[in-house]
Amino acid sequence: MRRTTFPKTGWEVGVIGLGCWGIGGQWGPVDEATAVATVRTALDSGMNFLDTADAYGATPGRSEELVGKALKGRRGDAIVATKVGNYARRAGFPLSYASPLHVTLCCDASLGRLKTDYIDLYQCHIGDLADPTVFLEAFEDLRGQGKIRACGISTVRRDVLERFNRDGHCISCQLDYSLVSRKAEAELLPWCLENRIATILRGPLAMGILSGKYGRETKFEDLLRRSWNEGDGRRAYLEKLEAAERLKFLVRPDRSLAVAALQFALSHPGATVVIPGAKSPEQVRQNTAAGEGALTPEEMEKARAETARFDA
């Protein structure tokens, strides 16, 4: 797999990483053995960037626990990124994060679940953060203790990122970007490129829509996509599904729609690493193929024309 570099740290990572949200059970059940095998297959395939969060899992923290189990004996093979700021929010019991001590406590808990004594990249998980002071103070202290190596934020807003990077210590921004979610092209991706902020592109398969697996009759049972079954959620799903149908010209005997979608995301000059989710070793192996090729200029032009409505 091709490698790329995080500008401020020099970390060398595979251009395709592993989003570990799915292995925690929120996207449907995954048994422990399969989850562990998924992470280890990713490492064997050249995906050395693993992204998780303390909020991920059918029970909060489950994804981190599984990543920790998978990394036994292989910690040095991975750049481990996790997030803080949304623990128990979906369960209705969010923390206030009113003090740096809240962040420090969450970090210690993540270290325990991950079974490691350091986190490579610790990210703020509050995308609309108005005042980053609490997180920045905590991250500075945690760096001093050696518990984290670097910090970043997950947000789709340039103003939030600019505030978070006020001292220049932010090394990365995790943001939503895909063929059917292109708003980041206007400001966020160019700003990151100009300011040497690595970008971690989540949602490159649009929560599965660009995988080619779903249709107009599909009904979703998982916690995260049930809203797609009716009302505005269904209308948005069908609009993106229609776009996916128009993009099937990208499919070839040696390239699936999912691989083409990942290669589109990687094609942006501001892209660093793309983190599709996977719930099985086979899905990992399919995603790996995206790191070995690229869309042609003609394919890019047509794909952008077919999804122009999603760039604003």
Structure confidence at residue 268 (pLDDT):
96
Lowest pLDDT segment from 12-16, 25-29, 129-133, 260-264: 25-29
pTM greater than 0.75: yes
Which residues are the active-site residues? 56
Residue that is written with structure tokens 């002071």 in the block: 133
Q: Which tokens hold the place of 192? A: 């990151």
Structure confidence at residue 91 (pLDDT):
80
Instruction: List all residues 6 or more positions away from 100 whose beta carbon is below 8 Å from its beta carbon.
Output: 134, 135, 137, 138, 141
Q: Model confidence over 284-299: pLDDT tens digits?
A: 999 999 998 899 999 9
CA distance 55 to 236: 26
Q: Model confidence over 58-74: pLDDT tens digits?
A: 999 999 999 999 999 99
Domain locations along the chain: 3-208+255-296
Cα atoms found within 13 Å of the Cα of residue 12, Cβ hemisphere only: 6
3-208+255-296 is classed in which CATH architecture? Alpha-Beta Barrel (3.20)
Nearest in space to 67 (alpha carbons), one of 136, 120, 8: 120
CA distance 198 to 11: 10
